[in-house]
Structure 1
Amino acid sequence: MTTTAPALDLTADPVALAAALVDVPSVSGDEGVLADAIEHALRTQAPHLEVVRSGAAVLARTNLGRARRVLLAGHIDTVPIADNVPSHRDGDLLYGCGTSDMKAGDAVIAHLAVTLTEPVHDLTVVFYDCEEIEATRNGLGRIERELPDWLRADLAILGEPTDGMVEAGCQGTLRAEVRTIGRRAHSARSWLGDNAIHRAGEVLARLAAYSPRRVDIDGCEYREGLQAVKVTGGVAGNVVPDEAVVTVNFRYAPDRSADTAVAHVREVLDGFDVTVTDLSPGALPGLAAPAAQEFLAATGATPRAKYGWTDVSRFAALGIPAINYGPGDPNLAHTREEHVDVTRITDATEILRRFLTD
């Protein structure tokens, strides 16, 4: 494994570049070596780009005066390594931590940034840190605060793994704790107590009976879900518990605001103590934007809804249409056997090249 910044050839075949990126460990919070390598490569191999550094993030852009600007973004951090670095190849499959999520996408973005010297749209590329951990440390948030001008664009494309499909917008997510209170007593004299875990049964019954919405937005169907994801309670094997907590997760369509999502969960669980512990808004597809229409035409793909939350939400909050498009398979992200089909890397490179040059 590489511990010092390697020399990266961003003009090389993106498949080879993806392997080189994987071979530089960059677990969240420890992306510095990889950021150094990317920064050095951009500064030495792409004189047509303006390059800046922000923490462990690297940004570059053209300034050609084009009518529109397209932003390509990819996070360079990974989840903890699971004995899957360095990378290895088996036929068309490239294995290694981050191959799918999302160093294959990073390779595509870096290669295009260096090799496209006269794109039809001005181009910004953003390689950022700490996406895989708590949102407060996400590098895009720091960039938004410190370098807001660098995030302005007519379309943002995140190289998140979509298996070569176009996934529009994203769901919002809400987590909350639903607390029930009872009265503690010795279980041998249970009539003297009030079992808080039993009281939580009503919470679970409402969740089991819940009918989630399906919402069509710009031709993409978003499916909502309200689920219990954790139940805690109990004091000891001979005590009637006086408190129980059901943790719920609401994945909601992007036509709901964060506030209306909170109101909906409180309505469903009316009468119970609901404390919201995590809340992130979704992102509308934004497919009507001219630059988004051009990209869809270049891919020839039928867009689908993004299930899950991604950083497209940050761009949507800035009023920038944003979509997810990357060569990795999301079902393989974070797994020990994580890999990417290298033909997806080649295809994504050519599709984005066509969009940015035709």
Structure 2
Amino acid sequence: MKTIHAILLLPFLAVFVTSCGDNKAAENKNTTEVIPVKLLPLNGQSAGTAAIAVSGQFTTDDETMLSFKTGGIIQSLLVKEGDAIKTGQLLATLNLTEINAQVTQAQLGFEKAQRDYNRVLHLYQDSVATLEQLQNAKTAMSIAEEQFKSAEFNRSHSQIRATSNGYVLRKLANEGQLVQPGTAIFETNGAAAGNWLLRVDLSNKQWAAIQPQDKATIEIESVAGKTFEGTVVRKTEGLNQTSGTFRADIRLNGTKPAAIAYGMFGKAIIQPAATVTATGAGPWSIPYEALMEGDGSTGYVFVTNDRKTARKITVTIGGMEKDQVIITKGLEAAGALIISGSAYLTDGSPISVK
């Protein structure tokens, strides 16, 4: 009977052993599965040398709104939109009738105060006037003098002169118009100096990938079939609330094209420098989806330094902005942040970069 029972149990034992073997094989397979992920370079590292295509408008970064110091009626506008201007050139004047009257009144007041002071001084020397009366007369004369200087200053700024060589971009008022102090009359720039910048918008990833001094190739629609060399000179450290993007300025190098104007559209290909810094300074702007857990100011993310293995680390959260989290500490030694595929990772998981 025992022999019969043993024979009957053999098929079941075989199935059980096979099932256990399959489970162990599946478990081993899961523990060695390579998870595909996407990375965001950190601390100056570049995800290769992939070029970044951007677009924007040309500017000289020195646009100036010119206005009168005083209010009044515009007497003359001596330039038009598009005119070239030189430093010190007279561009506009106010009607000076009222302003001259104010200067004359201040001058007469100052002259009277001088006479009063001299009279009191003589009386004081003759012991007729007191020291207090002399001091009051001197104070009144000083006040009248300053009022006269102020009136002359306002008259000298009742005209507009060019602050630099450039062009008139916009004329914002007309002759005969009554304007208040500080009302913009002209918008000018220093385009004559050739300091052209291509101001471009950047996404979070593009902003993280580029650095000042990165090289760029620029295309200008008005100069078909030709490209120009440029250099990234700056990138903003905050989000532009109007456009919801970051910005960078690319300066044109070498000979500047003649067929270029303020506001003209341009394209550029930025080549990020494939350099690595020893340490990061922070703070870092990372996508929301990269933050796996959070408790107050503490959170967890996955990073990699060898692009083969994921590491789970603790970070300090400094704040939240549109579509991003600000990290102030924890990413100093990280080469790249894992921003896609984190939900399937554990500490030490093997990864492949998409």
TM bin, normalised by shorter chain, reads: under 0.3
Which is richer in helix? 1
After TM superposition, the score normalised by the length of structure 1 is 0.20
After TM superposition, the score normalised by the length of structure 2 is 0.20
Which is richer in strand? 2
